[in-house]
Chains A and B, each alone.
Chain A
Amino acid sequence: METFKKLKAYYWPYKKYFFISMFFLLFVTGITVVYPIILQKTIDDVILQGNYKWIPYLAFGFVGIMILKGITTFIQQYCGDLFGITSVYRLRNELYEKLQFLPFSYYDNAKTGDLMSRLTADVEAFRFFLSFGFTELLRFFLLITVSFGVMFYYSPSLTFVTLASLPFLAITVYKFDKAVHPAFRGIRKSFGKLNTNVQENISGINTVKSLSREEFQINKFNSSNGDYKDKYLFTSDIWAKYFPLMEFLGNVSVVTLLAYGGYLVMNGNLQPGELVAFYSLVWYIIWPIMNLGFTINLFSQSKASGERLLEILEVDEKIKDHDSVVDVDKMKGDVEFNHVTLNYTEHDEAALEDITFKAESGKVIGLIGSTGSGKTSITQLMTRFYEPTKGEILIDGKTLSDYSLKSLRNNIGVVLQESFLFSSTIKANISYGRPEATMEEIIEAAKMAQAHDFITELPDGYDTKLGERGLGLSGGQKQRIAIARALCTDPSILILDDATSAVDMETEFRIQKALKNVMSDRTTFIIAHRISSLKHADEILVMENGKIVERGVHDFLLKNNGPYQRIYDIQYQDQKKILQTQGR
């Protein structure tokens, strides 16, 4: 119950729906039991006694009561549903808000699939319980108690004889429930595996075809497909084993009812109508018991789901604005790192160690080094996606935490390594960071990023809608849109993190030329593997294992006998060779 208590804030504001639903449930259950009673009255008091004048009243009364039942059932169910969906509406908004502000460090360890299953399946399980679970539990007790009461009123001894098979039924239900849930999990798991199998096959179809492994893949698929079928049949066998048995045990009640009840009627200890009424009432007890396993399972599932949701809702947002932050409209762009060290977690080795540099507005800083050397970490500290473990970072002379997160990040334009585009128009993607940008500004940004030409060649131009992960665009085209997106915010600090890796040389050259014109009033950081991408920088920082091992301008580093020179030699050996052939 602890879980439900903690989640109270999301459903308790809508408690009125819950109480209305509960209140009307009392009526619904009451009226349900009325039907067999009316049948009994018709038989015993009207037909057998010959009181035929009651008939019209009975018939109309019955319809009247059923209209009442219809209305109450409707209100009961509708309010129960509303309770669930209104709570979930709120819960979803809060979850989404939470997700928007969780720090990078949370996402480093989170898997999209896992988060998605919490946001969909767990939210749904929780809703289902709010809508049905509570009321089903209550209905179970009400229906059984009332039916039992009525039966007991008619004939205590017949009640006991008839219900003698119930313990067996309860045991069967319990056993069934225990067997069927693992089996269902088996189906789900097998289906998941089949799903992964197919998905992988389709995503990797080029690889499959290029190595002509179609037959192999088909066989692999067939074994998963067969496993799914087997798991399904295993489950349906459990079903076949228990379900007819439950029905049979219910029917045993009917048989004993007929034998003993018939005997009672013959002896005059029971009215025929009462016997008929019993026949209906018995099922009002048997059905809920057969469903009990389902209801209890619902409860335990929603509890587990609630816990998984709380795990998200209770994550600490580590990076927040403190009270006296300032909003700055336009920064100058002077960046200073003073002896900065970063450990992503306590146990990790330092990702950055004692980093110190100064970048004045208008300057271009190049960062080069192998994968994992800490280039990206530097830029992520600037945008405060992580906080330094030691040392301080200043922009325009002020510590980062003195700025509001919003104004800090608004002043920094980042082009990330992986150019993620949203399912939206190209226009909206470029203006993502500044939705109020005019069409002229969007086009200007696209022109600088050398994206304008290919965009206008698309049938819908800037209004072209991009599909999942920018489907239909090449890697280079996506990168160029991502660059335009960063330029569109007109940032004081521009970070290009391996932003042109998929762009061909000619285009990269043109992008750099265009950027040169707008670099004068901003600080630019370029992370790259190709020396050609950053040789024009005012300072190049060569990184190795989280440290700056070499720094200076291109011409200096070229003769410094360090890693930079080595990289240069490797990359330019082509050119040298060609020069040789040319000079021949």
Chain B
Amino acid sequence: MSKNKSKVNKNALSRFHYSTDQVIDKPFNWEQLWRLLTYLKPYSKKLLPLSIVTVLITTAIRLIIPILIGVYTLDKAIRQKDGTLLFTLVGIIAGLYVINYIANVLRIRWMNELGQGVIYDLRKHLFSHVQWLSHRFFDQRSAGSILVRIMNDINSLQELFTNGVINLLMDIILLAGIIVILFTLSPELTLAVMVILPIMFFISTSLRKNIRRSWQDVRIKQAKLNSHLNESIQGIRVTQSFTQEQENMAFFDGVNTETFDSWKTATKKNAMFRPMVELTNAVGTAVLIWYGVHLIQGGSLELGEFVSFAFYLGMFWEPISRLGQVYNQLLIGMASSERIFEFLDEQPIVDEKHDAMNLDDIKGRIQFENVEFSYDANRKALKNIDLEMKAGQTVALVGHTGSGKTTIANLISRFYDPTKGEVKIDGINLRDVTVSSLRNQISIVLQDTFIFSGTIKDNIRFGRPDASDEEVRKAAEAIGANEFIEKLSGGYDTEVEERGNVLSVGERQLLSFARALLANPRIIILDEATASIDTETEVKIQNALKKLLAGRTAIIIAHRLSTIRESDNIFVLENGKIKESGNHDELMDQEGDYYELVKSQFKMLEAM
């Protein structure tokens, strides 16, 4: 372990790279704040005004009490030895405290309801919006970075909406109230004492910002440390296989030292904060004592007024400190809301026409007429595609990676609209129909089957949540998944999760078939798996597949020759164009690209 903590070994630190997606504050942006505040609108009739009223009540009581105690109780009652007045005043103060208590109970309740309401709405809005964004949106981002926006960025606005906005109001009133009251008590003493105000504001904003930056640095370093920890646990088998334990420890010590160093800096600055505040307050008190007593000596200030002054002076810091906090929250909120709005401004690529109609039950005839498509301006993914798939046919798409197979599938399920030309189902242009009525009749079985946490039953039912247990079982039986499900400890009620080891790859595949079968789509798109499945399971899957495809229009993106061979029609794609089409026998007779493809694969198998 390195003893030399301030010196970080740069060489060891370059071993891994972690990008950190951290909230850094942003300059103030009125437009953005305004947009954020529009989320308060649904509450502007009831919760917002109610909260404000309770805040005003508690603030007023806090402002009145020091005068009641200092000027009235001390000067007018106690020092004048007026017992009745003393007890009347004590009674009034007690009454105010009771009101304060009630107002506080309501304030906390209402403000939280308001804040949580806004956070709930905002999160709901963001999630629903993201849900409808295109594949491309998700392909370009890691799951983690999307998660952070929906969870953490929204949470960082929580404080702002629960307390921030209303506290802002309260603190401004409190501060102004204190200054006004002090002025009425004694203008010259107020002016003298107010020398500390600018210092306090400086500490509360600039110094606090500086400190927060240091903490931010700590958090970034810690995030890096945690990323590495996470990765090193997941990759421990690789590390031990390659005996890189010592080398990793050197790296970790480097990151750990970096974290330690930035923590030390932050904590040092942080420890200076309170003393600075208190010292500033002390200067104020010293001024009060010196000048205040001088005024008492001159007869222009009463003792009780002096005491009230001391109380108010002690109250200065709190609103200023909180204003500084709100200011900081706002800056953080700017960064978070910018990131949130960036997602909200993202448009779904498929635009539904406002007069789009619902697609009735389809037969499943698919036509591409002169279709052209490009994901970005530079490269056309599809060029002049004309094809027809008859209802109930099984059609295979063959070609190398990037030849356009998946793009065709994406256009059929309308994840994108073609750049040119038309895609039709049963003769109806897809642009004229609603997306959900179309997709409800299409199922896509993907290479990587995603298992949601929940029971096996729920997972099969995912494509049709209203299916009965009996229907679920039938679907599983038809696919041949029944056998392994029954063997599980809880049968259909066994809890599974995404990265759990309960299911093997092949079993997942069968589950996804059962899922698709239950959804009973007219069109089915299969992105065939190439993952490692042992041969026995593979046989089962091939059989299940036949069941699944029967009576539907099926589009198969495949590498396996047997599936392709048996399909009714084969389209061979290259660079976004259809090179050949026909069934296996026809294409073999033609001795074109397909023939070459089959032959070369076959040769390789023999040569290995």
A and B physically associate: yes
Q: Which of B400-436 contact A (CB under 8 A)?
A: 401, 413, 415, 435-436
Q: In the complex, which range does the number of interface residues on chain B fall in?
A: 35 or more
Q: How far is the CA of A211 from the CA of B537 in the complex (A)?
A: 25
The secondary-structure label for the interface of chain B is: helix
Task: Please tell me if the beta carbons of B605 and A236 are within 8 angstroms of each other in the complex.
Answer: no
Closest 4 CB pairs of A and B: A212-B439, A210-B444, A70-B275, A433-B242
A461 on interface, CB distance cutoff 8 Å: no
- CA separation between A572 and B241, bound complex, in Å? 35
A182-201 contacts to B (CB < 8 Å):
191, 194-196, 198-201
Which residues does chain B contribute within 8 Å of A259, judged by CB atoms?
Answer: 86-87, 90
Question: Quick check: is B547 within 8 A (CB to CB) of the other chain?
Answer: no
Number of A residues, CB within 8 Å of B: 159
Stretch at the interface among A293-301, A345-353, A393-401, A497-505: A497-505
Does A23 lie at the interface of the complex (its beta carbon under 8 Å from any beta carbon of B)? Answer: no
Which A residues lie within 8 Å of B293 (CB)? 42, 46-47, 52, 55
Distance between A415 CB and nearest chain B CB, rounded to angstroms:
9
Quick one: closest A residue to B236, CB to CB?
A: A107
On whether the beta carbons of A371 and B534 are closer than 8 Å, the reply is yes
Q: Say how far B228's CB is from chain A's closest CB, in angstroms.
A: 8
Asked if A1 is an interface residue, CB under 8 A from chain B, the answer is no
Residue A551 CB within 8 A of the other chain: no
Chain A 32-76 per-residue mask, 1 if CB under 8 angstroms from chain B, else 0? 000100110011001110001001101110110011011101100
Per-residue A-contact encoding for B285-301, CB less than 8 Å = 1, 0 else: 11101100110110000
- Across the interface, A100 reaches (CB within 8 A) one of B77, B249, B310, B531, namely B249
* A370:B278 contact, CB within 8 angstroms: no
Q: Which residue of A lies closest to B436 (CB)?
A: A212
- In chain B, positions 533-564 with a C-beta closer than 8 Å to chain A are 533-539, 559-562
Binds B, one of A155-163, A171-179, A406-414, A443-451: A406-414
For chain B, residues 119 to 169, give those with C-beta under 8 angstroms from any C-beta of chain A. Answer: 119-120, 123-124, 127-128, 131-132, 135, 138, 142-144, 146-147, 150-151
In the complex, what distance in Å separates the CA atom of A228 from the CA atom of B538? 43
Q: Tell me, yes or no, whether B101 is within 8 Å of chain A by CB.
A: yes
Q: Does A332 contact B (CB under 8 A)?
A: no
**What are 27 sample pairs from A and B whose C-beta atoms fall under 8 A apart?**
A59-B290, A63-B283, A73-B278, A96-B252, A99-B232, A104-B237, A203-B143, A204-B450, A206-B450, A210-B413, A210-B525, A213-B463, A214-B436, A218-B127, A218-B128, A236-B108, A236-B112, A243-B104, A247-B104, A251-B100, A258-B69, A414-B241, A416-B238, A432-B244, A489-B242, A508-B608, A573-B562
B238/A266 in contact, CB under 8 A: no
Distance, CA A207 to CA B247, complexed state (A): 40
Q: Which of B94, B293, B296 has the most CB of A within 10 A?
A: B293
Instruction: Say yes or no for B307: interface residue by CB 8 A criterion.
Output: yes
Taking a contact as CB atoms under 8 Å apart, the answer to whether A468 and B86 are in contact is no
Tell me if A385 counts as interface (CB < 8 A to partner B).
yes
Decide if A520 is an interface residue (CB 8 Å cutoff).
no
Contact with A along B432-452 (1 / 0, CB 8 A): 000110011011111011101
A residues near B388, Cβ cutoff 8 Å = none
A485 to B112 Cα, complex, angstroms: 54
Q: Determine, out of A135-143, A335-343, A420-428, the stretch whose residues face the partner at the interface.
A: A420-428
Known A211-B462, A229-B119, A567-B535: A236·B109 in contact at CB below 8 Å: yes
A100-115 near B? 1/0 per residue, CB < 8 Å: 1110100100101001
Whether, in the assembled complex, B347 has its beta carbon less than 8 Å from a beta carbon of chain A, the answer is: no
Which of B225, B237, B242 is A107 in contact with, Cβ under 8 Å?
A: B237
- Which of A74, A211, A371, A423 is within 8 Å of B17, CB to CB? A423
Within 8 Å CB of B81, what residues of A? 266
A97 to B585, CA, bound (A): 63
Given contacts A74-B271, A213-B463, 20 further A-B contacts (CB under 8 A): A43-B307, A47-B296, A66-B281, A116-B226, A209-B444, A210-B525, A225-B127, A240-B112, A243-B108, A244-B104, A258-B93, A259-B86, A259-B87, A266-B86, A383-B241, A423-B16, A506-B601, A506-B604, A529-B535, A577-B565
